[in-house]
Structures are given as C-alpha cells and as structure tokens.
Amino acid sequence: MMIYITALATGALFGAGLAVSGMTDPANIQGFLEITGAWRPHLALVMLAAIAVALPFFQWVLPRLSKPVYGAAFLSPLSTAIDSRLITGAAVFGVGWGLSGLCPGPAITGIAYLEPQIFGFLAAMLIGMKIADRLPSPSAKA
Amino acid sequence: MIEMSIFGGLLIGLASVCLMLFQGRIAGISSIVYRAIFHLKFESWALTFVIGLVLGPLLVAAFNGPAAPVIDLAWWQVLLGGVLVGVGSRLGSGCTSGHGVCGIARGSTRSIVATLTFMATGVITVFLMGMI
C-alpha cells in the first residue's frame, strides 16, 4: 500500500515540477533547441537544478543505503553498453522531441490541460513504443 | 520565469531522489509509462505514479503557479514526433528524465552519451524546421 502512496506523491511532485518550470510548454523546449534563434534557457536550468539535487544523493547517499524504505532492493539500470541501439534510439528520440517540443513526462503531465494534441502525441508515442518492441535487436544481427 | 524553471527543476530532482529512496526505482518517465500501460499487472505502482504526474498541474494551479500553456503545433509534428519519441525512448532505454536527469546524476556514461545525442538531433531538427 505504501508504494502506491509514495508513487502517487512522487509523481505529483515530479508533475508539479514540470508544470511550474514551463516544461509542459512545447515552445520552451523548441526555443531551447533553437540555438540560432531567440534562445530559451529554461530547459537547461531545469536540468541543472534537478541534477544538483539528485547527484549528491545518487553519488554519496545511495551507496550507503542497503535497501529502499518500501521495497526489496534498489533497481538501477545494469547496462553500461554504448552501442548502436542506444545511439540510434537517442538520435530518433531527439528528432521527435525537436519536431513536437514534447517528451514523455511533459506529455503525461499535459493530460491535465485537456489539449487534443497532447492526447494525439501520447497515442502516437505508445504506438512508437510498440513498433520499437517489434524491431529486431541490432546485437542479434551483428 | 527563470526562477520558476530553477524551482521546478529542484522539485523534479527531489521527486527523482524520493522515488529511488522510497521504492528503489529510477524516475525514467518513458519506462514508467511503458510499464503502466503494457506491464500493469506486474507493476501497478507505475500507473499510480502516472496519475500523480497528471495531478501535478492541479497542485501548481492551487498555488497560483503559471497558467496552462497554449499548445499550437501542426498535427504532423505532433503525430510524427510522438511516434519517434516512442520508438527512440524504447530503443535508447530512456528519455529526458531517465537519461538527462537520473542517468547524469548517477554518473552513467551511457546516459551522458544518450543526452548529448538527443540534444544534438533535437537542435538539428529544430534548425531544419526553421528552413521549411
């Protein structure tokens, strides 16, 4: 039960952060990526502030803890491979991010605004995730 | 607006710390959304987190935060962008939150490479869109 309460509360905190910082406005994302135009620094500030809070925890506190408050173990990504799958995925992600000014967090949080384009984006994103699941793994081919 | 971006970033960082501290999970939104939709039976907490994300703007409105943005994109950008974000976040195992915030905070080289890559293709995409 507690994990549902913490999941809801941390989700709301994260969503509030996205909304208050202007990240749910695609114009701020595209404005950040438009380095030759009227550059908008918001995204850089959001990322730096978030990292400033998270980095000390992940680097210095987490290694001293044995397990999470509610849960069996800390689950961190195990892969350290920098392979074609990672690069291709990130490159494709960036094109979609630039085209729409949206990424998964702000799009989910944006549901609250009841904008038709947010729902369109999310439907397309879920289809894209399923398409990726059907793509052959590059490591299997190589 | 600048102060609000810093404040919002601090909240996002705090939420990422809390999710790891309380549940041992990385706050990577693309993967949480994927679990909430496609692996709900095994990871039902993910849906609760997603519901929390949607409640975020209501909290902000309750504290007289910024108003809802006006979203006015071309539909082809929305739909093509959505598909590419979906494909890319699955293939690349993460998005702006998982790689860009948590991954960098963990000191993961993999996430730093992913973040630099999607920022580069994002910049190129926006530049090319400005030319059409």
> Which among A8, A53, A70 has CB closest to B52?
A8
Residue A23 to residues A1, A29, B40, B46, B122: CA-CA distances in angstroms?
31, 7, 27, 21, 15
pTM for the predicted model, two decimal places: 0.95
Q: What does the domain layout of chain B look like in residue ranges? A: 2-131
pLDDT tens digits, residue range A38-82? 899 999 999 999 999 999 999 999 999 999 999 889 998 888 899
Min Cα separation A1/chain B (Å): 9
ipTM of the complex: 0.96
Min Cα separation B112/chain A (Å): 10
Measured between alpha carbons, how far is A53 from A46 in angstroms, rounded to an integer?
A: 11
Residue A139: predicted pLDDT = 54
Measured between alpha carbons, how far is A31 from A38 in angstroms, rounded to an integer?
A: 7
| Cβ separation B92–A15 shorter than 8 A | no
| Cβ separation A109–B82 shorter than 8 A | no
| Rg of chain A (C-alpha set) | 18
pLDDT tens digits, residue range A81-102? 999 999 999 999 999 999 999 9
Q: Which residue, B57, B35, B59, is CA-closest to B48?
A: B35
| Cβ separation A95–B68 shorter than 8 A | no
Cβ contact B17:A54 at 8 Å: yes
> Which among A12, A85, A117 has CB closest to B56?
A12
Q: Which residue, A8, A18, A4, is CA-closest to A104?
A: A18
Cβ contact B53:A109 at 8 Å: yes
Min Cα separation A118/chain B (Å): 8
Q: What does the domain layout of chain A look like in residue ranges? A: 2-135
